[in-house]
Structure 1
Amino acid sequence: MRQMTTPRHFDTLLTGARRLRAFRQGPADFLLRSVAEDLADRLSLVQRSFRQVAEIATPSDALREVLEARGLPRPVACESLPALAASRRAPVVVAPVEALPFAAGSLDLIVSALGLQLVDDLPGLFAQVRRALKPDGLFLAALLGGDTLAELREAFAVAESEVDGGLSPRVAPFADVRDIGALLQRAGFALPVTDSDRLTVRYGDVFALMRDLRAMGATNPLLARRRVPLRRATLLRMAEVYHQRFSDPDGRIRATFQVVTLSGWAPHESQQKPLRPGSAKARLADALNALEQSTGEKPGG
Protein backbone atom coordinates (compact mmCIF):
# COMPACT_ATOMS: atom_id res chain seq x y z
CA MET A 1 0.00 0.00 0.00
CA ARG A 2 1.36 3.40 -0.97
CA GLN A 3 2.10 5.64 2.02
CA MET A 4 0.93 9.25 1.80
CA THR A 5 3.51 11.87 2.74
CA THR A 6 2.85 15.44 3.81
CA PRO A 7 4.04 18.03 1.27
CA ARG A 8 6.91 20.08 2.69
CA HIS A 9 6.77 23.85 2.24
CA PHE A 10 9.25 25.12 4.84
CA ASP A 11 13.02 24.82 5.15
CA THR A 12 13.32 23.71 8.79
CA LEU A 13 17.10 24.08 8.97
CA LEU A 14 16.99 27.60 7.53
CA THR A 15 14.14 28.61 9.85
CA GLY A 16 16.14 27.39 12.85
CA ALA A 17 19.26 29.28 11.76
CA ARG A 18 17.27 32.49 11.34
CA ARG A 19 15.64 32.08 14.74
CA LEU A 20 19.09 31.71 16.29
CA ARG A 21 20.33 34.82 14.51
CA ALA A 22 17.30 36.81 15.65
CA PHE A 23 17.80 35.67 19.24
CA ARG A 24 21.48 36.64 19.28
CA GLN A 25 20.83 40.06 17.74
CA GLY A 26 17.82 40.84 19.92
CA PRO A 27 14.39 39.91 18.53
CA ALA A 28 11.61 42.31 17.51
CA ASP A 29 8.84 40.80 19.62
CA PHE A 30 6.22 43.59 19.77
CA LEU A 31 3.77 41.54 17.70
CA LEU A 32 4.35 38.38 19.75
CA ARG A 33 3.81 40.22 23.03
CA SER A 34 0.59 41.78 21.76
CA VAL A 35 -0.70 38.33 20.79
CA ALA A 36 0.42 36.86 24.13
CA GLU A 37 -1.58 39.51 26.01
CA ASP A 38 -4.66 38.72 23.90
CA LEU A 39 -4.36 34.98 24.61
CA ALA A 40 -4.00 35.69 28.32
CA ASP A 41 -7.12 37.88 28.21
CA ARG A 42 -9.07 35.07 26.58
CA LEU A 43 -7.90 32.57 29.19
CA SER A 44 -8.99 34.92 31.98
CA LEU A 45 -12.58 34.52 30.73
CA VAL A 46 -12.47 30.72 31.06
CA GLN A 47 -13.93 29.55 34.36
CA ARG A 48 -11.46 26.74 34.81
CA SER A 49 -8.25 26.06 36.67
CA PHE A 50 -5.38 24.63 34.64
CA ARG A 51 -2.69 22.64 36.43
CA GLN A 52 -0.73 20.89 33.69
CA VAL A 53 0.10 23.42 30.97
CA ALA A 54 2.32 23.14 27.87
CA GLU A 55 3.40 25.79 25.38
CA ILE A 56 4.37 24.74 21.85
CA ALA A 57 6.09 26.53 18.94
CA THR A 58 6.12 30.00 20.54
CA PRO A 59 9.40 31.63 19.41
CA SER A 60 10.38 32.99 22.84
CA ASP A 61 9.41 33.19 26.52
CA ALA A 62 6.97 36.06 25.84
CA LEU A 63 3.82 33.96 26.21
CA ARG A 64 5.11 32.16 29.29
CA GLU A 65 5.96 35.48 30.98
CA VAL A 66 2.48 36.90 30.32
CA LEU A 67 0.70 33.76 31.54
CA GLU A 68 2.75 33.60 34.72
CA ALA A 69 2.06 37.28 35.38
CA ARG A 70 -1.66 36.44 35.20
CA GLY A 71 -1.30 33.71 37.81
CA LEU A 72 -1.28 30.60 35.60
CA PRO A 73 1.09 27.74 36.32
CA ARG A 74 4.43 27.91 34.53
CA PRO A 75 4.01 25.98 31.25
CA VAL A 76 6.40 23.36 29.97
CA ALA A 77 7.83 24.66 26.69
CA CYS A 78 8.39 22.46 23.64
CA GLU A 79 11.43 23.86 21.80
CA SER A 80 12.88 22.35 18.63
CA LEU A 81 16.34 23.97 18.85
CA PRO A 82 18.69 22.82 21.63
CA ALA A 83 20.64 26.11 21.42
CA LEU A 84 17.47 28.09 22.15
CA ALA A 85 16.19 25.61 24.74
CA ALA A 86 19.22 26.45 26.88
CA SER A 87 18.16 30.10 26.91
CA ARG A 88 14.53 29.52 27.88
CA ARG A 89 13.55 30.20 31.49
CA ALA A 90 10.62 27.80 31.45
CA PRO A 91 10.93 24.05 31.94
CA VAL A 92 11.79 22.86 28.42
CA VAL A 93 11.63 19.65 26.44
CA VAL A 94 13.57 19.56 23.17
CA ALA A 95 11.48 18.07 20.39
CA PRO A 96 10.17 19.03 16.95
CA VAL A 97 6.77 20.66 17.18
CA GLU A 98 5.41 18.06 14.74
CA ALA A 99 6.41 15.26 17.15
CA LEU A 100 5.03 16.35 20.52
CA PRO A 101 6.59 14.43 23.43
CA PHE A 102 3.59 14.60 25.79
CA ALA A 103 1.77 11.52 27.04
CA ALA A 104 -1.83 10.91 26.06
CA GLY A 105 -4.34 12.63 28.35
CA SER A 106 -1.63 14.38 30.39
CA LEU A 107 -2.36 18.10 29.94
CA ASP A 108 -5.15 20.50 30.93
CA LEU A 109 -4.09 23.28 28.57
CA ILE A 110 -1.90 23.64 25.47
CA VAL A 111 -1.12 27.14 24.19
CA SER A 112 0.85 28.52 21.27
CA ALA A 113 1.62 32.00 19.94
CA LEU A 114 2.82 32.80 16.40
CA GLY A 115 4.66 29.59 15.61
CA LEU A 116 2.17 27.21 14.02
CA GLN A 117 2.10 29.05 10.68
CA LEU A 118 5.44 27.36 9.89
CA VAL A 119 4.16 23.81 10.50
CA ASP A 120 3.79 21.70 7.35
CA ASP A 121 1.41 19.13 8.85
CA LEU A 122 -1.17 21.11 10.81
CA PRO A 123 -3.78 18.30 10.71
CA GLY A 124 -1.24 15.90 12.21
CA LEU A 125 -0.19 18.42 14.87
CA PHE A 126 -3.80 19.13 15.85
CA ALA A 127 -4.39 15.39 16.25
CA GLN A 128 -1.35 15.15 18.54
CA VAL A 129 -2.56 18.10 20.62
CA ARG A 130 -6.00 16.53 20.92
CA ARG A 131 -4.40 13.25 22.08
CA ALA A 132 -2.22 14.98 24.71
CA LEU A 133 -5.14 16.81 26.34
CA LYS A 134 -7.16 15.40 29.19
CA PRO A 135 -10.93 15.17 28.63
CA ASP A 136 -12.27 18.75 28.74
CA GLY A 137 -8.74 20.10 28.20
CA LEU A 138 -8.31 23.28 26.17
CA PHE A 139 -6.20 24.11 23.12
CA LEU A 140 -5.71 27.85 22.55
CA ALA A 141 -3.40 29.20 19.87
CA ALA A 142 -2.73 32.14 17.57
CA LEU A 143 -0.98 32.04 14.23
CA LEU A 144 -0.52 34.32 11.25
CA GLY A 145 -3.29 34.14 8.66
CA GLY A 146 -3.53 34.47 4.89
CA ASP A 147 -3.74 38.27 4.68
CA THR A 148 -0.41 38.72 6.48
CA LEU A 149 2.06 40.86 4.50
CA ALA A 150 -0.31 41.08 1.54
CA GLU A 151 1.26 44.41 0.63
CA LEU A 152 4.77 42.95 0.51
CA ARG A 153 3.60 40.02 -1.63
CA GLU A 154 1.96 42.34 -4.13
CA ALA A 155 4.94 44.69 -4.34
CA PHE A 156 7.36 41.80 -4.90
CA ALA A 157 5.06 40.24 -7.52
CA VAL A 158 4.98 43.45 -9.55
CA ALA A 159 8.72 44.06 -9.24
CA GLU A 160 9.76 40.52 -10.17
CA SER A 161 7.36 40.40 -13.12
CA GLU A 162 8.80 43.64 -14.49
CA VAL A 163 12.49 43.18 -13.70
CA ASP A 164 13.05 39.40 -13.62
CA GLY A 165 10.29 38.20 -15.92
CA GLY A 166 8.86 35.76 -13.37
CA LEU A 167 7.81 35.27 -9.75
CA SER A 168 9.59 33.62 -6.85
CA PRO A 169 7.77 32.51 -3.67
CA ARG A 170 8.81 35.01 -0.99
CA VAL A 171 6.06 34.98 1.66
CA ALA A 172 4.79 31.83 3.39
CA PRO A 173 1.36 30.44 2.35
CA PHE A 174 -0.42 31.30 5.61
CA ALA A 175 -3.56 29.38 6.54
CA ASP A 176 -7.13 30.55 6.00
CA VAL A 177 -9.33 31.02 9.07
CA ARG A 178 -12.11 28.77 7.70
CA ASP A 179 -9.66 26.01 6.86
CA ILE A 180 -8.29 26.07 10.41
CA GLY A 181 -11.77 25.65 11.89
CA ALA A 182 -12.35 22.63 9.65
CA LEU A 183 -9.02 21.12 10.72
CA LEU A 184 -9.97 21.44 14.39
CA GLN A 185 -13.20 19.55 13.74
CA ARG A 186 -11.36 16.91 11.73
CA ALA A 187 -8.94 16.39 14.64
CA GLY A 188 -11.86 15.66 16.97
CA PHE A 189 -12.05 18.88 18.98
CA ALA A 190 -15.35 19.85 20.55
CA LEU A 191 -16.71 23.41 20.41
CA PRO A 192 -14.07 24.66 17.93
CA VAL A 193 -13.89 28.44 17.50
CA THR A 194 -11.74 30.54 15.16
CA ASP A 195 -11.62 34.28 14.66
CA SER A 196 -9.17 36.74 13.17
CA ASP A 197 -7.93 40.27 13.68
CA ARG A 198 -5.87 42.49 11.41
CA LEU A 199 -3.08 44.53 12.93
CA THR A 200 -1.63 47.36 10.84
CA VAL A 201 1.95 48.38 11.61
CA ARG A 202 3.40 51.51 10.01
CA TYR A 203 7.02 51.98 8.97
CA GLY A 204 9.15 54.78 7.61
CA ASP A 205 10.03 52.63 4.60
CA VAL A 206 9.89 49.04 3.39
CA PHE A 207 13.49 48.41 4.46
CA ALA A 208 12.52 49.06 8.10
CA LEU A 209 9.77 46.45 7.70
CA MET A 210 12.27 43.96 6.29
CA ARG A 211 14.65 44.61 9.20
CA ASP A 212 11.84 43.80 11.64
CA LEU A 213 11.00 40.61 9.76
CA ARG A 214 14.67 39.60 9.97
CA ALA A 215 14.67 40.37 13.71
CA MET A 216 11.59 38.16 14.08
CA GLY A 217 13.38 35.31 12.29
CA ALA A 218 10.53 35.55 9.78
CA THR A 219 12.23 36.11 6.44
CA ASN A 220 11.56 33.76 3.52
CA PRO A 221 11.45 30.16 4.90
CA LEU A 222 10.16 28.44 1.77
CA LEU A 223 11.84 25.42 0.21
CA ALA A 224 10.69 26.64 -3.21
CA ARG A 225 12.37 30.04 -2.86
CA ARG A 226 14.74 31.23 -5.56
CA ARG A 227 18.30 30.34 -4.50
CA VAL A 228 20.05 33.26 -6.21
CA PRO A 229 20.62 36.62 -4.46
CA LEU A 230 17.88 39.22 -4.85
CA ARG A 231 18.85 41.71 -7.54
CA ARG A 232 19.27 45.32 -6.45
CA ALA A 233 17.06 46.52 -9.31
CA THR A 234 14.27 44.16 -8.17
CA LEU A 235 14.55 45.32 -4.57
CA LEU A 236 14.43 49.00 -5.50
CA ARG A 237 11.46 48.49 -7.82
CA MET A 238 9.66 46.55 -5.05
CA ALA A 239 10.23 49.46 -2.64
CA GLU A 240 8.93 51.92 -5.24
CA VAL A 241 5.76 49.89 -5.84
CA TYR A 242 5.19 49.45 -2.11
CA HIS A 243 5.37 53.19 -1.47
CA GLN A 244 3.16 53.99 -4.44
CA ARG A 245 0.38 51.62 -3.40
CA PHE A 246 0.55 51.31 0.38
CA SER A 247 1.75 54.61 1.86
CA ASP A 248 -0.24 57.09 3.93
CA PRO A 249 -0.32 60.87 3.29
CA ASP A 250 2.57 61.33 5.73
CA GLY A 251 4.75 59.01 3.62
CA ARG A 252 4.81 56.08 6.04
CA ILE A 253 3.89 52.64 4.69
CA ARG A 254 1.42 50.09 6.05
CA ALA A 255 2.07 46.41 6.75
CA THR A 256 -0.80 44.05 7.60
CA PHE A 257 -0.50 41.15 10.03
CA GLN A 258 -3.59 38.93 10.23
CA VAL A 259 -3.71 37.02 13.51
CA VAL A 260 -5.97 33.96 13.56
CA THR A 261 -6.93 32.76 17.03
CA LEU A 262 -8.30 29.26 17.51
CA SER A 263 -9.62 27.23 20.39
CA GLY A 264 -11.00 23.75 20.85
CA TRP A 265 -11.77 21.39 23.72
CA ALA A 266 -10.99 17.72 24.14
CA PRO A 267 -14.44 16.07 24.23
CA HIS A 268 -16.09 15.42 27.60
CA GLU A 269 -19.59 14.30 28.54
CA SER A 270 -20.21 17.51 30.52
CA GLN A 271 -19.87 19.74 27.44
CA GLN A 272 -22.83 21.38 25.77
CA LYS A 273 -24.20 19.34 22.87
CA PRO A 274 -26.13 20.63 19.84
CA LEU A 275 -29.84 19.83 19.82
CA ARG A 276 -31.21 17.21 17.45
CA PRO A 277 -32.91 18.62 14.33
CA GLY A 278 -36.65 18.99 14.98
CA SER A 279 -36.33 18.89 18.78
CA ALA A 280 -37.18 22.58 19.36
CA LYS A 281 -40.21 23.18 21.60
CA ALA A 282 -40.97 26.71 20.37
CA ARG A 283 -41.20 28.34 16.96
CA LEU A 284 -38.77 31.07 15.94
CA ALA A 285 -41.67 33.06 14.46
CA ASP A 286 -43.38 33.16 17.88
CA ALA A 287 -40.18 34.36 19.59
CA LEU A 288 -39.83 37.16 17.04
CA ASN A 289 -43.56 37.98 17.09
CA ALA A 290 -43.56 37.55 13.32
CA LEU A 291 -46.01 36.08 10.81
CA GLU A 292 -44.83 32.74 9.43
CA GLN A 293 -45.43 32.28 5.72
CA SER A 294 -45.15 29.02 3.83
CA THR A 295 -42.66 28.83 0.94
CA GLY A 296 -44.65 26.08 -0.78
CA GLU A 297 -45.83 22.56 -0.22
CA LYS A 298 -43.61 20.16 1.63
CA PRO A 299 -42.23 17.17 -0.30
CA GLY A 300 -44.93 14.54 -0.61
CA GLY A 301 -47.70 17.01 0.27
Structure 2
Amino acid sequence: MFLRQLTYLIALDRCRHFSRAAESCGVSQPALSAGIRQLEAELGITIIQRNRRFYGLTPEGERVLGWARQTLAALDGLRQEAAFAQNIAGGSVSVGTMPPALLTVSALLEHFRSVVPALHADVRVYSSGEIIHHLREHTLQIGLMYLDQVPQDGLYESHFLFAEKHVFVCSSFVRVPEKENISWQEIQAVPLCLLGQNMRSRQLIDKGFRQAGVVADVRLETDALELLHAELFRGRLASILPVAALPERAEERGLQIRQIEDMSCPDVGAVRLSQGQHTALSEYLWERVQTFKFAP
Protein backbone atom coordinates (compact mmCIF):
# COMPACT_ATOMS: atom_id res chain seq x y z
CA MET A 1 0.00 0.00 0.00
CA PHE A 2 1.44 3.38 -1.03
CA LEU A 3 0.81 6.59 0.88
CA ARG A 4 -0.12 8.35 -2.35
CA GLN A 5 -3.11 6.01 -2.72
CA LEU A 6 -4.39 7.21 0.65
CA THR A 7 -3.79 10.80 -0.47
CA TYR A 8 -5.84 10.12 -3.61
CA LEU A 9 -8.71 8.74 -1.51
CA ILE A 10 -8.78 11.76 0.81
CA ALA A 11 -8.65 14.16 -2.15
CA LEU A 12 -11.48 12.32 -3.89
CA ASP A 13 -13.68 12.51 -0.80
CA ARG A 14 -12.91 16.23 -0.46
CA CYS A 15 -13.44 17.15 -4.14
CA ARG A 16 -16.23 14.63 -4.90
CA HIS A 17 -14.97 14.57 -8.50
CA PHE A 18 -12.27 12.48 -10.15
CA SER A 19 -10.76 15.22 -12.34
CA ARG A 20 -10.68 17.85 -9.59
CA ALA A 21 -9.20 15.35 -7.12
CA ALA A 22 -6.51 14.40 -9.63
CA GLU A 23 -5.70 18.07 -10.24
CA SER A 24 -5.38 18.74 -6.51
CA CYS A 25 -2.93 15.82 -6.24
CA GLY A 26 -0.93 16.93 -9.28
CA VAL A 27 -1.58 13.72 -11.24
CA SER A 28 -3.68 12.67 -14.22
CA GLN A 29 -7.20 11.34 -13.73
CA PRO A 30 -6.23 7.86 -15.02
CA ALA A 31 -3.35 7.73 -12.54
CA LEU A 32 -5.65 8.64 -9.65
CA SER A 33 -8.30 6.13 -10.72
CA ALA A 34 -5.67 3.41 -11.09
CA GLY A 35 -4.30 4.19 -7.63
CA ILE A 36 -7.75 3.85 -6.06
CA ARG A 37 -8.34 0.55 -7.87
CA GLN A 38 -4.97 -0.75 -6.65
CA LEU A 39 -5.98 0.14 -3.11
CA GLU A 40 -9.30 -1.70 -3.52
CA ALA A 41 -7.50 -4.75 -4.96
CA GLU A 42 -4.99 -4.82 -2.14
CA LEU A 43 -7.68 -4.55 0.55
CA GLY A 44 -10.13 -6.81 -1.25
CA ILE A 45 -13.07 -4.42 -0.89
CA THR A 46 -14.97 -1.86 -2.96
CA ILE A 47 -14.18 1.66 -1.70
CA ILE A 48 -15.79 3.87 -4.36
CA GLN A 49 -19.34 3.87 -5.68
CA ARG A 50 -18.71 4.61 -9.34
CA ASN A 51 -20.05 4.37 -12.87
CA ARG A 52 -17.85 6.78 -14.85
CA ARG A 53 -18.68 9.37 -12.17
CA PHE A 54 -17.99 9.55 -8.46
CA TYR A 55 -21.12 8.67 -6.45
CA GLY A 56 -19.57 8.56 -3.00
CA LEU A 57 -17.87 6.03 -0.75
CA THR A 58 -19.16 2.63 0.22
CA PRO A 59 -19.57 1.94 3.97
CA GLU A 60 -16.26 0.03 3.80
CA GLY A 61 -14.74 3.00 2.00
CA GLU A 62 -15.83 5.37 4.77
CA ARG A 63 -13.95 3.23 7.30
CA VAL A 64 -10.86 3.13 5.08
CA LEU A 65 -11.08 6.92 4.72
CA GLY A 66 -10.93 7.29 8.50
CA TRP A 67 -7.80 5.15 8.67
CA ALA A 68 -6.27 7.05 5.75
CA ARG A 69 -6.72 10.36 7.54
CA GLN A 70 -5.21 9.00 10.74
CA THR A 71 -2.28 7.50 8.84
CA LEU A 72 -1.43 10.69 6.97
CA ALA A 73 -1.93 12.77 10.11
CA ALA A 74 0.55 10.49 11.90
CA LEU A 75 3.01 10.82 9.02
CA ASP A 76 2.69 14.61 9.11
CA GLY A 77 3.27 14.44 12.85
CA LEU A 78 6.41 12.36 12.29
CA ARG A 79 7.75 14.94 9.86
CA GLN A 80 6.99 17.75 12.30
CA GLU A 81 8.61 15.76 15.10
CA ALA A 82 11.83 15.49 13.11
CA ALA A 83 11.78 19.17 12.15
CA PHE A 84 10.90 20.22 15.69
CA ALA A 85 13.82 18.23 17.06
CA GLN A 86 16.14 20.18 14.76
CA ASN A 87 14.68 23.63 15.14
CA ILE A 88 11.84 24.92 17.31
CA ALA A 89 11.43 27.96 15.05
CA GLY A 90 8.87 26.42 12.69
CA GLY A 91 6.12 23.87 12.17
CA SER A 92 2.40 24.06 11.43
CA VAL A 93 -0.86 23.95 13.36
CA SER A 94 -4.48 23.65 12.19
CA VAL A 95 -7.04 25.62 14.24
CA GLY A 96 -10.81 25.66 13.96
CA THR A 97 -12.84 28.45 15.53
CA MET A 98 -16.50 29.37 15.84
CA PRO A 99 -17.16 32.88 14.44
CA PRO A 100 -17.61 34.56 17.87
CA ALA A 101 -14.08 33.49 18.84
CA LEU A 102 -12.46 34.50 15.55
CA LEU A 103 -10.85 37.63 16.95
CA THR A 104 -9.41 35.54 19.79
CA VAL A 105 -7.45 33.42 17.32
CA SER A 106 -5.16 36.29 16.31
CA ALA A 107 -4.12 36.81 19.93
CA LEU A 108 -3.64 33.06 20.44
CA LEU A 109 -1.45 32.76 17.33
CA GLU A 110 0.64 35.69 18.50
CA HIS A 111 1.05 33.84 21.81
CA PHE A 112 2.24 30.78 19.86
CA ARG A 113 4.65 32.74 17.68
CA SER A 114 6.33 34.29 20.69
CA VAL A 115 8.01 30.90 21.16
CA VAL A 116 7.65 29.40 17.64
CA PRO A 117 8.42 32.41 15.40
CA ALA A 118 8.00 30.72 11.98
CA LEU A 119 4.83 28.84 12.89
CA HIS A 120 2.48 28.26 9.95
CA ALA A 121 -1.20 28.32 10.91
CA ASP A 122 -4.22 27.08 8.96
CA VAL A 123 -7.33 28.65 10.51
CA ARG A 124 -10.85 27.60 9.50
CA VAL A 125 -14.22 28.92 10.73
CA TYR A 126 -16.77 26.28 11.75
CA SER A 127 -19.71 25.75 14.06
CA SER A 128 -18.95 23.96 17.34
CA GLY A 129 -20.36 20.70 15.98
CA GLU A 130 -18.14 20.95 12.90
CA ILE A 131 -15.10 21.62 15.08
CA ILE A 132 -15.71 18.40 17.02
CA HIS A 133 -16.14 16.50 13.74
CA HIS A 134 -12.86 17.81 12.30
CA LEU A 135 -10.96 17.13 15.52
CA ARG A 136 -12.22 13.55 15.41
CA GLU A 137 -11.22 13.26 11.74
CA HIS A 138 -7.71 14.61 12.53
CA THR A 139 -8.15 17.55 10.15
CA LEU A 140 -7.90 19.99 13.08
CA GLN A 141 -5.52 19.98 16.02
CA ILE A 142 -7.10 22.69 18.19
CA GLY A 143 -10.63 24.08 18.30
CA LEU A 144 -11.99 27.24 19.94
CA MET A 145 -15.63 26.79 20.95
CA TYR A 146 -18.22 26.90 23.73
CA LEU A 147 -17.20 24.35 26.32
CA ASP A 148 -20.76 23.17 26.94
CA GLN A 149 -20.68 21.73 23.40
CA VAL A 150 -17.71 19.42 24.06
CA PRO A 151 -18.88 15.76 24.18
CA GLN A 152 -18.46 14.16 27.59
CA ASP A 153 -17.17 10.85 26.19
CA GLY A 154 -13.57 11.09 27.35
CA LEU A 155 -12.24 11.64 23.81
CA TYR A 156 -11.52 15.34 24.25
CA GLU A 157 -9.66 17.58 26.64
CA SER A 158 -10.36 21.27 27.01
CA HIS A 159 -8.96 24.39 28.62
CA PHE A 160 -11.00 27.40 29.76
CA LEU A 161 -10.06 30.64 27.99
CA PHE A 162 -12.64 33.21 29.04
CA ALA A 163 -16.20 33.72 30.26
CA GLU A 164 -18.38 34.74 27.34
CA LYS A 165 -20.74 37.71 27.51
CA HIS A 166 -23.17 38.92 24.83
CA VAL A 167 -24.05 42.60 24.38
CA PHE A 168 -26.47 44.61 22.28
CA VAL A 169 -24.64 46.88 19.82
CA CYS A 170 -25.85 49.51 17.36
CA SER A 171 -24.78 52.76 15.72
CA SER A 172 -25.46 56.16 17.22
CA PHE A 173 -28.29 56.60 14.67
CA VAL A 174 -30.38 53.89 16.32
CA ARG A 175 -32.61 55.16 19.12
CA VAL A 176 -32.27 53.02 22.23
CA PRO A 177 -32.76 53.81 25.95
CA GLU A 178 -29.96 55.87 27.52
CA LYS A 179 -29.02 53.34 30.18
CA GLU A 180 -26.42 50.61 30.78
CA ASN A 181 -28.78 47.65 30.45
CA ILE A 182 -31.38 46.87 27.79
CA SER A 183 -34.22 44.36 27.99
CA TRP A 184 -35.33 41.78 25.43
CA GLN A 185 -38.58 43.72 25.04
CA GLU A 186 -36.64 46.87 24.12
CA ILE A 187 -34.43 44.93 21.69
CA GLN A 188 -37.58 43.55 20.04
CA ALA A 189 -38.34 47.01 18.64
CA VAL A 190 -35.02 47.24 16.75
CA PRO A 191 -34.24 45.53 13.38
CA LEU A 192 -31.35 43.10 13.85
CA CYS A 193 -28.56 41.36 11.98
CA LEU A 194 -27.46 38.15 13.71
CA LEU A 195 -25.22 35.14 13.27
CA GLY A 196 -26.79 32.13 11.55
CA GLN A 197 -29.04 29.72 13.42
CA ASN A 198 -26.48 26.90 13.19
CA MET A 199 -24.20 28.85 15.51
CA ARG A 200 -24.36 28.25 19.26
CA SER A 201 -24.14 32.01 19.89
CA ARG A 202 -27.34 32.54 17.90
CA GLN A 203 -29.08 29.68 19.68
CA LEU A 204 -28.36 31.40 23.02
CA ILE A 205 -29.84 34.63 21.66
CA ASP A 206 -32.97 32.88 20.38
CA LYS A 207 -33.37 31.25 23.80
CA GLY A 208 -33.26 34.69 25.43
CA PHE A 209 -36.06 35.97 23.18
CA ARG A 210 -38.18 32.86 23.80
CA GLN A 211 -37.81 33.08 27.56
CA ALA A 212 -38.79 36.74 27.45
CA GLY A 213 -41.84 35.86 25.35
CA VAL A 214 -40.98 38.21 22.48
CA VAL A 215 -40.13 37.79 18.79
CA ALA A 216 -37.01 39.35 17.29
CA ASP A 217 -37.13 41.45 14.11
CA VAL A 218 -34.25 39.72 12.28
CA ARG A 219 -33.47 41.29 8.89
CA LEU A 220 -30.13 39.58 8.16
CA GLU A 221 -28.54 36.27 9.15
CA THR A 222 -24.94 35.37 8.28
CA ASP A 223 -21.92 33.46 9.57
CA ALA A 224 -19.60 36.28 8.42
CA LEU A 225 -18.67 38.67 11.22
CA GLU A 226 -17.30 41.14 8.68
CA LEU A 227 -20.78 41.53 7.17
CA LEU A 228 -22.38 42.05 10.59
CA HIS A 229 -19.77 44.69 11.42
CA ALA A 230 -20.39 46.46 8.09
CA GLU A 231 -24.14 46.58 8.75
CA LEU A 232 -23.55 48.01 12.21
CA PHE A 233 -21.40 50.83 10.87
CA ARG A 234 -23.92 51.60 8.12
CA GLY A 235 -26.39 52.24 10.92
CA ARG A 236 -29.44 50.46 9.56
CA LEU A 237 -29.33 47.34 11.74
CA ALA A 238 -28.34 46.55 15.30
CA SER A 239 -26.94 43.23 16.55
CA ILE A 240 -26.27 41.04 19.56
CA LEU A 241 -22.68 39.84 19.66
CA PRO A 242 -20.24 38.25 22.07
CA VAL A 243 -17.86 40.87 23.45
CA ALA A 244 -14.96 38.97 21.85
CA ALA A 245 -16.62 39.41 18.43
CA LEU A 246 -17.18 43.18 18.58
CA PRO A 247 -15.45 45.36 15.98
CA GLU A 248 -12.14 46.84 17.07
CA ARG A 249 -12.50 50.10 19.04
CA ALA A 250 -16.28 49.80 18.70
CA GLU A 251 -17.22 52.66 21.02
CA GLU A 252 -14.48 54.94 19.68
CA ARG A 253 -15.96 54.40 16.21
CA GLY A 254 -19.43 55.49 17.29
CA LEU A 255 -21.16 52.27 18.26
CA GLN A 256 -23.42 52.07 21.30
CA ILE A 257 -23.05 49.02 23.54
CA ARG A 258 -25.60 47.87 26.12
CA GLN A 259 -25.57 44.99 28.58
CA ILE A 260 -28.51 42.61 28.07
CA GLU A 261 -30.74 41.79 31.02
CA ASP A 262 -31.09 38.07 31.89
CA MET A 263 -28.56 36.81 29.30
CA SER A 264 -26.37 33.90 30.36
CA CYS A 265 -23.60 32.36 28.25
CA PRO A 266 -21.33 29.29 28.49
CA ASP A 267 -17.56 29.56 28.79
CA VAL A 268 -15.26 29.59 25.76
CA GLY A 269 -12.23 27.34 25.65
CA ALA A 270 -9.70 25.45 23.53
CA VAL A 271 -10.33 21.78 22.75
CA ARG A 272 -8.25 18.94 21.32
CA LEU A 273 -8.40 15.16 21.08
CA SER A 274 -7.17 13.59 24.29
CA GLN A 275 -6.29 10.29 22.61
CA GLY A 276 -3.92 9.46 19.77
CA GLN A 277 -0.40 10.52 19.05
CA HIS A 278 0.49 14.16 19.62
CA THR A 279 3.67 15.55 18.09
CA ALA A 280 6.22 17.40 20.17
CA LEU A 281 5.08 20.64 18.51
CA SER A 282 1.39 20.05 19.20
CA GLU A 283 2.16 19.21 22.84
CA TYR A 284 4.27 22.35 23.11
CA LEU A 285 1.50 24.51 21.65
CA TRP A 286 -1.09 22.93 23.95
CA GLU A 287 1.11 23.91 26.89
CA ARG A 288 1.08 27.44 25.49
CA VAL A 289 -2.74 27.33 25.29
CA GLN A 290 -2.82 26.73 29.03
CA THR A 291 -0.78 29.90 29.69
CA PHE A 292 -2.84 32.03 27.29
CA LYS A 293 -4.71 34.92 28.90
CA PHE A 294 -7.49 36.63 26.96
CA ALA A 295 -9.77 39.37 28.24
CA PRO A 296 -12.60 40.22 25.81
**TM-score range with shorter-chain normalisation?**
under 0.3
In terms of fraction of residues, the more helix-rich structure is 2
In terms of fraction of residues, the more strand-rich structure is 2
